[in-house]
Structure formats: structure tokens, C-alpha cells
Amino acid sequence: MRRIREIVAVTVVAGCVLGTAAQTLAYEGGEVKDGGTISGTIKFAGTPPARKELQVTKDKEICGKKQHMNWDLVVGPNKGIENAVVSLLDVKKGEKWAMTKTTLDQNGCEYTPHVAVMPAGGELDILNSDGILHNIHTYGQVNSSINRAQPKFKKVLTEKFAKPDIIKVTCDAHSWMLGWLVVSDHPYVAVTNDKGEFTLRNVPPGNYKLEVWQETLGKKVQNVVVKAKQETKVTVELAK
Amino acid sequence: MQSWRGWRTSKLAEQRSLRVLFFVSSMLFMLAAVWAMWNEGKTRRPWKAYQQGFNRLESEQVARELATERLRLDTPEVRATVAKLQEDLKAAHARLAGPESAKARQLLRQREAEYAEINMKAQFMKSELDEAQYWVEQAIYSETDSAKAKTKAAAIEKQLRALTAQADGLNARVEEARGVVTRFQADVDTIQGRIDELHAPVTALERRLESIKARSPEVKQIVVEGLATNEFKEPILTVDRCATCHLAIDRPGFEQARQPFRTHPYREVLLGKHQTARFGCTSCHQGQGPTLEVKAAHGDVRHWYHPLLRGDFVQTSCRKCHAEKKELALAPVYSRGRRMVEERGCFGCHTMAGFEKVPKVGPDLTRIASKVDPNWLVRWIQKPKGYLPKTKMPHFDLSDEDTLSIAAYLLRASQPMPEHQVALKAPASVERGREIVSRVGCLGCHRIPGIEAKAPLAGAPPAGLPEHAPASLLAPPPPPENQDFAPDLSKIASKVNADWLFAWVKNPKQLRPTTRMPDLRLSDEEARAVTAFLMTLGQKQTVAGLEREVRKPERIAAGEHLIRKRGCFGCHDIKGFETAEKIAPDLSNFGHKRLLELFFGEAVQVKQTWQDYTFWKLKNPQIYATTRVEQLMPNFGFSDEEAETLRVLLKSLSAERIQPQFQRGLSDEELAIHNGRTIVARYNCNGCHVIEAQGGAIAAFYANETRIPPPLEVGMMHEGEKVQATWLYQFLGRPIPLRPWLDVRMPTFGLSIEEATALTNYFAVMGKQRVPYEYVSVGEPSHELLKAGRLLMSKDYFDCFTCHQQGERKPEGPPESWAPDLGLAKRRLRPIWIGKWLKDPQKVQPGTKMPSYYPGGPEDILEGKEDRQIQAITEYLMRLGED
């Protein structure tokens, strides 16, 4: 009996300590003075593979309006990688994230955007512009899986993801559909444009770890120093 | 001598003094009496010391509890409470003794007096009334004028009524006053009660302590009718005095105490279901019940027939009454031993009760010549583990000559293969064969080198974790430690002939009707490719002259003799030995064999006990061989642990006659589960499907969780709750492809009617359904409901048929993205389950491709009511295809 009491006591104390620890680890959003900027380009090292065409196997009258190309690795001119995700790791303090709502559209049986960024705990509006049955099937690392139907009459579905995560999104009705959701607890996260460029604004000065993730090329981490009111240029190369 | 005679003759007998003699002898008698009493009370009653020991132990325990309780009483809060209560009590006492209380009592007395006076008057008045009424009656009888008497009686009655009313009023006042008085006492009592309550645990413990001190030593004896009967079918009475020393055996709280004072392990289950008052102790534990001396009571004395069952051996007693049960959660070693016997096939040579219906464990050898390469056969017979290190086939330690002879007979007695229309002629691709083998389901049972499991799936549910508590009495058997259900095929080409292999993979049952290998319904082309691939695994090794040698008639004759002697037919079907008797001794009473019945031969190194004999017999039977006595039992290569496990099972083999009222058969439900599990294990359904949260290891060979065989019995998924029993029965007999996107096929097992019925029953029981009756639909659903169902499933709403097939109408796109045929639903699915499934598919089968539609149904159908919409879809599905 005494043993049990001891264990309980230890657990409670440990829980309190860890709880406060977790709280101090959590991101704190507020005003940022003299913030710097990180900008740069994510490039592909080597010869980029050609994009393949995806076969539209059903609902051709809606899905087959345009040609579907593979989105999993898109390399633009000057080898800039589109849809790579750049984010800062272990940011404790910084700008408050104003964004609360993100949209993921299913248009022409394709997810737009291909990679969507959203705040942890924020809402994701999933639109069904196609007016046919889609389903949202998510595969996250930490957030539990969701598989919701979105029939024609359901124009908007709203989902929440509580924890930072990289989540794969598929539609079981249209096997070629593939999208990604990046859930972050701080606003210093960006998706590269078609030239492979990104910008992270208003970063409090300091030393950071910059992580680059791409769905087929994986992750790469690099150190970066941000100085007050200055722009730091970064170029990261990813290879197969 | 002289003096003695002198003394005797010197005086007359009457004058001789015997004082000294008398004194000495009386002293001796007295000492003897004292010793006898001491011996009786002390030395010969060792149990008294144990009881004292236990009393000490219990006193210490109670004292500890008492100290804690006192400490609790001593805490400032409790002390403050007590002090406050004491103060209140004092105040209450003071009030009780005070002037107010005295005044109240005074008032009460006064009112009581008043009441008594009036009451008395009333009583007298009542008597007067009686008298008056007497006169009235008297007047009536004597027919005189009664009017006067009546008037008098009426007057008295009126007076009485007034008096009674007055008395009642006074009585109420008395009660009121009494209430005031008792309130003073009640206050005291309540406060005192509260104080007592705080002290109650301490008081109770103190009382317990006193009662322990007051205990006098006594023999605790249980007399019960034993489980077994004697030769005359009379129950053997058992007297057990074990509880004389094992004082806490049926009392919780002594789980950690030293023996003999420990509580019985799993007391609540074991003693809860087997009350000591009915079963006693020795019926399970054996030993010598009536004895009170430690060694003798445990039966550790010469010639005592049933010494205490120690360690795992006590598990063997469960079998006495639970003979039918295969898996006993609290007898794991016994259960494991039982499974081992079933797997190893001991019953092939030995008669063993309870294994009569288990089929032979080895393959049928009646077509061996067309199946295997003779060179391989010889090597195999000589050393089976040389080819398959994990084989069940034991090592017979045969000479080269004997091996050849046995092979010669087997090849000679073999029958030709049945005629085949399609021969293995056309060329086939090895790569295609590998592809088929790795996808179609072979890996559910066989391991094949070069085809490795894929990395565990991200997001896939963890491979079935048992959810049941270990003590659950209906617990399924634990998963097998190794996955080698079917033979390892890594060297198969060195063993079999290609023609035979082709015919075998095409239809195993045609070659060997008793095989467990199912038919995967391979086409000729597929079977050819599979054969081509398998024939790349391993290489034939020929021994020159062997083929000629095995054809010699004298070899064949010698082989027949050897097979008869070594009992090969105990495990294999061999032509010519269909009626041969088991070759080895009957083991039905082996657990009770006495030492003198066991043959130790020249093995002096083995200790002369049943345990050691059996252990070494299992480990190495040849240890008991002498020049005169041969040992025919082969070596099974048991590990120490395996031998110990089997030994426990062997100890349970007994010819004791157990009384029917103690025998615990299986209930219908248990029997259904038992039979079902037997078939699931026999055909290795677990190789592909998760059943009772176990198995499904084949999933590791598929990259995607949607490509694996469906789970059947895990979490909220119960196949028996999902599908209709009739459909399941038919499906088991003749499977049809339900999920076109799966490469893995549900094989045709060729189940017998009994087997298919038992499996159907098993799934129904696991899914809490009754067979054969089932609800399909009650009444005729309204037209409106069916219309709503149809609308809900249409393209504008749930668009079910974008993925689901409906008979011949297939969805668009490749079959990988299709879903099961809804046209089958009315024959296949149970409507109640459809409702559950529609509500939350992920809850029923985590990871399914079926998305959830609810909550979030359309508002414009059936007023947006979820339950009605689900009912509509269900009813529509149950009529799909009808007009």
C-alpha cells in the first residue's frame, strides 16, 4: 500500500514538473522588435527527373478536364524546388500567428495547394469545388487518422489538427490525388514557390536551426543566424 | 548374585523392606508420566508451534494496523475533531445534568401525574359504563323497562368520551415533555456515537488482537467426499487437516507472508470456484491429508503413493475435472504440454485419453514415390533435422542399411499419381512464379527465402495486442512462438519432383485428401510459374546406385518389418499398415506409475524418481537401452524446457475415476469456441487474419494496409456480428473473391460440413449472435424510406457506387480502388451491423478505406435525422436488386 502511495506521489510530482516543462517549451507569440528576415532558395542537386503524367481513371468528365502531372517533385527553372517546406526548429518566442483558417480545395480532382500550411489547433476548411464524392483520408505521424466522406452536397468540411505534424492527405475514391498538410505551432514556416524561393519575415534575432522538408527528398537541417533588421540569405540543396 | 540371594533368603518375605524399590519405581513412573504429558503436548504436536507462529504473525500485522490507526487518531486534525467532540459531549452532559433538563424532567413528571390521574378516572368510568350496559341488557332480557338504564348508560358514555379526550390531550402533552427530556440524552448519544465512530477501527483492531490472544490451538479439519471413487464406485472420503498449519490459505492479506502462512495464489478464482468446504485440499494438491507432521503431511515419506504436487505439477490436477478444456488460463504449463502432444503426435504410438480424435500429425505417404526424390527420402529418414532444422519428425537413429530398407518399402508401397489433363510442359517464368508466391497468400503459412517482410506500415494499427486479462477463463491460447506452421520451402527443389509439385499446388486435396494445405485456385499458367519458381530453391543430390538398391525385394521386406517395429504408421498413412496397432505402451495412467514399474536399465546416473525418469526418457530415450532391452522411442530433440512441459502433461495422465458431479464439461458456448479455435489453429486462419486479436502476420509482406486480408475478430470487429451465418457457411465452403483489389486470395480449404458449421458457430458466438436464427428485416419498410435510401446512396448524395460494385455493375477506375459488392449485402451482411458500420466505420475497422459520412448527413432527406437515414440505407441495401 505504501509503495503504491509512493508511486502515485512520484508520478504526480513528475507530472507537475513535466507539465510546467512542456509549458515552457510551448511557443509564445507576441510582439517582435527589430525582427530579421530569412530568405533563400531550395535547389535540387543533380539532374531533376521529368514529371510524369498521372492517369485519371475515373470521373473523367470532371477530373479529366486538364492534364494531371505528378506533384511529388516539381523542379522549376534554375533547379528551384517547388513545394518544399522551410521551417525553424525549436522556436520559443516570436510573432503571434494571425492566421487561424487555412483552405484546402479539391478542384479538378487535385488538392490546391499541394502543400498547405496551418497553425496547430487552427481550422482547416476543405472545399469540394468538384461536386463529386471525395474523401479526406489523412495519415499523420502524431495526429490521429481521419477518413471523412465529402459528398457533393457537402461544400465545406472543417477539420482541426491539434499537434504540429506533417500529414499526408489522400482520397480513396481517386487514387492519384495526393496532398500534404504542414501543421506548425509557430508562424515561421513557408512553402517554396515555383522558383524554389521562400521568405520568413519578422524573425527575432538569434541562432536557429532551419529545417527543409520535401515529400520525396526528406529532411535537411541547417544552422542560420538572424540579425536585427537584416536579411539572411540561405540556399539549401536537396538531393535524391 | 550371592548378596541378592542372601537378601532374598535372609528374611521372611513379610519382614523384607521394599521401601527403596517402591520409591524408585514410583519416581520412575512419575517421570515417565510427566515426560509422556510433555511429549504429547509439545513434541508430537508440531502444528501447535505453527499456530502460535501464525498468531504472532497476525498479531504483528494487526498491531501494525493498530499503530497506523492510532497514528491517524493522533494527527492534529483528528485530535482537534476529537477534542471538539469531547467538549461538545461535556456541554451536552452538562445540559443533561443542568437546570433546564431538570425542569423538563420535572415538567414531564408533573404531566405524567396529571395524565395518570385522568387516565385512572377514565378507566373507572369505563367500568361504570360496563356496569350500566350490563343493566341495560339485563332489563331487555327480563323484559322490564330499560329506558332508565339506557339513559344512565348514555350519560356515562358521554362523560367517558369527555374524559378520554382529556386523557388524550394530556398524553400528547406528556409526549411533548418527554421529547424535550430525551433530546438532552439524544444529544449526548449522538456526540458519543461520533466519537466512537472515530475510535471504531482502533476498537475493532483491539478486539481482534484480544481474540487472537484468546485463541486456543486446535486441529482444523475438513472432511469431504473426494473427487475420485474407488473400485466399487463409492466416493473416497477425504480428511484434510492442511489448514491446521496453512492458516491463511483462504484469507486475503497474507500474500507476502512466509509459508505455511501464505494466502493461496489466485485465491479468488481458485478457491472461489472450488470452495475448500467442498473440495478440500488434497484433491488438487495430493499429499497426506490427515497427518499433522510436516514431512508426512506433504507425503514425503516412503511408500506414500501421492506425494504433494510441487511447482508446475499441481496444474495437472485441473485435468481431473476439466478434461475437455484445452486451454486453462491458470494452468499454462499443462495447457502448453497438451498443445505439444497435439503437435508432436505422441498419441500416434501411445494410447492417451483425450487425443482420440486428433488426426495423425505426419503427411500421408501413400504417394511418396511420385512426390519425392528417392535420394532425398533416404537422407530425410536418416536425419530429418538435416533438411528441416525445425521439423517435428523425430530422429530414429537408424543405420544406413535400415534407412535404405524403410525407403525401399515406402517407395514400393506408393501408389501412382492420379491422371492429370494438363501436364507441366509449357515454359513458365520464374519471376512470375516468385511474384505469385509473394502475393497470393503462400506466405500466410510458409516462409520462403528471398521474400522478406516489408517495413512496418506507418499509421498501421499495431499487430493485435491481446486485450484480455491473463486470468480470464475464456482466454484464447497465446500466439505461437515461431511462425513455422507449414514446411520451410527453402530447399524444396532438392526434395520434390516438379510434376508432383505442379499437381500439388493446383489441387493439394486431390493428391492427399487429409492435407491442411488449401487450394489457392491457381490457373494452369499460375501453377506452372509457381512450380518453376519453387524448383529454383535447392538442388537435387543423387547417390550412385541408390535407385537400384531400393528396388531389391529383400530390402523391401526388411523395410516392412522395420516400419512395423518402429511404428512409422503412427504418424503417417502408409499402405499395408492401415490396421496396425499402436506400438508403444498405453500412457493412460502414466502419471501414477510407481517407481518399480519404470525401467531404468543401466542408467545409474538418473535419480530414482518419477520426475527424473520421465525427464530423461523425453530428452534421450536411448539412455535406458541395454543389450537386452531395446528402446524403440525415437529422439524428439526436446529442449529442457520442452521436456519439463511435457512431463507436466504426462503427470496429469491418470485413470482415476472422477465423480460425475465434479466433472466440468463445456457449456454450449465454450464448446463452440473450443471447436472453432481448434479449426482456426488446424488451418492456420491466423496466418492471414487477425482473430481474437492475434495473427495476421502476412500483413508484413504487403506495402499497404488496404492490401491485407481483413481482420475477423478484434476490437469492435466481429465477423459473426457482421455477416449472416448462412452466407459465412457457404463462403467457407466455396469462397468467392469479395475484394477485387486484394492479391491475396481466400483459399478453398475443402472444409467438411462439421468443420464449416463449427467455424460459423464460433464466429457467431464471438460476435454474440445466435445461430441459425437471425434478424433480416422486420415488417415492410415504407415506400418513403426505401426511396430515401435510394436517394441517399445516389450520385447526388453519398455516391456509394463510385467505389462499391453492385453485381455486374463495376465502378470506374482500376479494381484496386473498388469496394465490396453491395449487391451481396442482403445475403451477406447483418442489417444491424450495417447500421453500426455506417455510423463510424473507423471505429469498427481502424484504417478502412470506407470514409465516415456521419455526423454530417444531408439536411433535406428524412428531416436530416441520422438514425432514420441509416435505417433507410440499411433497408434499401437489404432490398437492392429487387423491384
Kindly report, residue by residue over B184-205, the tens digit of the pLDDT.
889 889 999 998 998 898 999 9
Q: What 3-state DSSP class applies to B804?
A: strand
Distance CA B93, CA B101 (A): 10
Which pLDDT value is given to residue B190? 92
Q: Does A142 touch chain B (CB under 8 A)?
A: no
Other C-beta atoms lying within 10 Å of the C-beta of residue B729: 20
Task: Give the pairing of strands A28-30 and A93-95.
Answer: parallel
Burial class from Cβ neighbours inside 10 Å (0-12, 13-18, 19+) for residue B764 reads buried
Q: In the prediction, which pLDDT does B1 show?
A: 54
The mean per-residue pLDDT over the stretch B762-785 comes to 77
Q: Which of B365, B380, B363 is nearest to B413 (CA)?
A: B365
Compute φ and ψ for A99, nearest 5 degrees. -70, 135
CA distances from A174 to A44, B211, B292, B765 (A): 29, 80, 81, 38
Asked if the structure places residue A77 within a domain, the reply is: yes
Interface of B to A at Cβ within 8 Å reads 458-459, 795-799, 802-803, 811-814, 816-817, 841-842, 846-853, 856, 858
- Among the partner residues A137, A157, A173, nearest to B802 by beta-carbon distance: A173
Interchain CB distance below 8 Å, B842 and A147: yes
- Sorting pLDDT into bands at 50, 70 and 90, what band is B457? very low
Binary contact (B852, A140; C-beta < 8 A): no
Distance from CA of A175 to the nearest CA of B (A): 7
Q: Contacts of residue B796 in chain A, CB cutoff 8 Å?
A: 152-153
* Residues of chain B contacting residue A175, judged by C-beta atoms under 8 Å apart: 813-814, 816-817
SS3 of chain A: the string is CHHHHHHHHHHHHHHHHHHHHHHHHCCEEECCCCCEEEEEEEEECCCCCCCCECCCCCCHHHHCCCCCECCCCEECHHHEEECCEEEEECCCEEECCCCCEEEEEECCCCEECCEEEEECCCEEEEEECCCCCEEEEEECCCCCCCEEEECCCCCEEEEECCCCEEEEEECCCCCCCEEEEEEECCCCEEECCCCCEEEEEEECCEEEEEEEEECCCEEEEEEEEECCCCEEEEEEEECC
Give the residue from B812, B838, B873 with the most A CB atoms within 10 Å of its CB, the best one to mutate: B812
pLDDT band at B813 (very low <50, low <70, confident <90, very high): confident
Q: Which residues of A touch B798 (CB under 8 A)?
A: 133, 149, 151
The number of domains in chain A is 1
CB-CB under 8 Å, B816 with A147? no
Whether B29 has a pLDDT exceeding 80, the answer reads yes
Contact at CB, A149 and B812, closer than 8 angstroms: no
Q: Decide if B332-350+588-658 and B783-877 have a common fold.
A: yes
Query: Which chain B residues are Cβ-neighbours of A157 within 8 angstroms?
Result: 856
Residue that has been written with the C-alpha cell 498521372 in this structure: A54
What CATH number did the domain enclosing A199 receive? 2.60.40.420
Nearest to B732 by CA among B776, B777, B683, B779: B683
Counting every residue written for chain A, the total comes to 240
Closest CA in chain A for residue B811: A58
Which stretch of DSSP H or E encloses residue B150? helix B147-214
pLDDT score for B221: 92
Pick the CATH number of B332-350+588-658 from 3.40.50, 1.10.760, 1.10.3470, 1.10.8: 1.10.760
In a domain, A134, yes or no: yes
Q: What is the mean pLDDT of chain B?
A: 87
Query: Average pLDDT of B717-745?
Result: 90
Q: Do residue A149 and residue B798 have CB atoms under 8 angstroms apart? A: yes
Least confident of B33-37, B98-102, B241-245, B518-522: B98-102
C-beta of residue B812 within 8 angstroms of C-beta of residue B802: yes
Least confident span in B119-123, B449-453, B537-541: B449-453
Residue A68 lies in a domain: yes
* Residue among A135, A139, A154 whose CB faces B856 most closely: A154
Q: What is the pLDDT of residue B473?
A: 41
CB-CB neighbors (< 8 A) of B814 in chain A:
57, 175
Average pLDDT over residues B577-594: 90
Q: What residues of B are in contact with residue A131 (Cβ under 8 Å)? A: none
| Nearest of A38, A99, A111 to residue A72 by alpha carbon | A111
CB contact under 8 A, A147 and B812: no
Say which DSSP state B723 is in: B
Comparing B441-455, B592-606, B633-647, B705-719, the range with the smallest average pLDDT is B441-455
For residues B666-675, average pLDDT: 90
Contacts of B683 (CB under 8 A, 6+ apart): B516, B518, B749, B751
SS3 B701: helix
Cell of B20: 527403596
Any domain includes A22: no
> What's the pLDDT score for residue A83?
92
Helix (H) or strand (E) holding B95: helix B76-97
Every domain of chain B and the residues it spans: 64-214, 222-308, 332-350+588-658, 368-450+476-570, 668-766, 783-877
Report pLDDT for B460.
Answer: 36
Say if A169 is an interface residue toward chain B (CB within 8 Å). no
Predicted local distance difference test score (pLDDT) of residue B454: 66
pLDDT tens-digit series, residues B10-22: 778 788 888 999 9
Residues counted in chain B = 883
Tell me which residues of chain A have a pLDDT lower than 50: 1-2, 12-13, 15-24
> What is the Cα–Cα distance from B744 to B698, expressed in whole angstroms?
10
> For B864-881, what is each residue's pLDDT tens digit?
888 889 989 998 888 887
Determine the pLDDT at residue A145: 87
* CA proximity to B651, closest of B624, B615, B600, B608: B615
pLDDT per position as a tens digit, B814-864: 888 888 899 888 889 988 899 999 999 988 988 888 998 888 888 888 888
For residue A59, being part of any structural domain is answered with yes
- The answer to whether residue A18 sits within a structural domain is no
- Read off the pLDDT of residues B499-523 as tens digits, 9 standing for 90 and up: 889 989 988 988 888 889 999 999 8
Q: Which residues in chain B touch residue A140, judged by CB atoms under 8 angstroms apart?
A: 459
**Does the structural domain B368-450+476-570 have CATH classification 1.10.760?**
yes
B668-766 classified as CATH 1.10.760 = yes
Q: How far is B99 from chain A (nearest CA, A)?
A: 53
Could you tell me the sign of the dihedral formed by the alpha carbons of B128, B130, B136, B138, in that order? negative
pLDDT tens, B77-102? Answer: 888 988 999 999 998 888 888 888 88
Q: Smallest Cβ distance to B851: which of A135, A139, A140?
A: A135
* Residue B420 predicted with pLDDT over 80: no
Domain membership of residue A46 (yes or no) is yes
Residue span of the structural domain in which A192 resides: 29-238
Q: Is the pLDDT of residue B479 over 80?
A: no
Q: Check: pTM over 0.80? Answer yes or no.
A: no
| Helix or strand holding residue B825 (H, E) | helix B825-828
- Give the chain B residue whose CA is nearest to the CA of A138: B459
Indicate yes or no: CB of B803 within 8 angstroms of CB of A147. Answer: no
Q: Could you give the CA distance from residue B167 to residue B659 in angstroms, rounded to a whole number?
A: 75
Query: How many beta-carbon contacts under 8 Å exist across A and B?
Result: 72
- Shortest Cα distance, chain A CAs vs residue B803, angstroms: 6
- Give residue B573's pLDDT: 92
Q: CB neighbours (10 Å) of residue A20?
A: 10
Chain B residues with CB under 8 Å of A172 CB are 803, 817, 849, 851
Q: Name the residue in chain B with its Cα closest to that of A56.
A: B813
Beta bridge mates, B657: B229
The answer to whether A132 contacts B799, with C-beta atoms less than 8 Å apart, is yes
Q: Give the whole-angstrom CA distance, residue B306 versus residue B247.
A: 23
Percent of chain B with pLDDT over 90: 42
Please answer yes or no on whether A147 and B849 come within 8 Å at the CB atom.
yes
Best CA proximity match to A166, nearest among A222, A196, A211: A211
Quote the pLDDT of residue B115.
92
Strand partners, A136: A148
A contacts of B856 (beta carbons < 8 Å): 148, 154, 157
Edge-first strand listing for the sheet containing A111-112: A111-112, A101-106, A123-128, A156-160
- DSSP letters of B356-371? TTSPPSSPP-TTHHHH
Nearest to A145 among B459, B803, B814 (CB): B459
- Concatenate the DSSP letters of all residues of B634-662 into one string: PB----HHHHHHHHHHHHT----EE-TTT
Contact residues for B724 (Cβ-Cβ < 8 A; gap 6+): B774, B776, B827, B828, B829, B830
Q: Is A20 inside a domain boundary?
A: no
CA atoms within 13 A on the CB side of B372: 24
Beta bridge partners of A220: A212
Q: Which CATH number, 2.40.37.10, 1.10.760.10, 1.20.140.90, 3.40.50.1360, labels domain B783-877?
A: 1.10.760.10
Instruction: Return the pLDDT at B424.
Output: 64
Q: Can you give the pLDDT at residue B550?
A: 84
Average pLDDT over residues B723-734: 91
- Mean pLDDT throughout B659-665? 87
Most confident of B69-73, B299-303, B539-543, B616-620: B616-620
What's the pLDDT at B323? 87
B798 CA: distance to closest CA in chain A (Å): 5
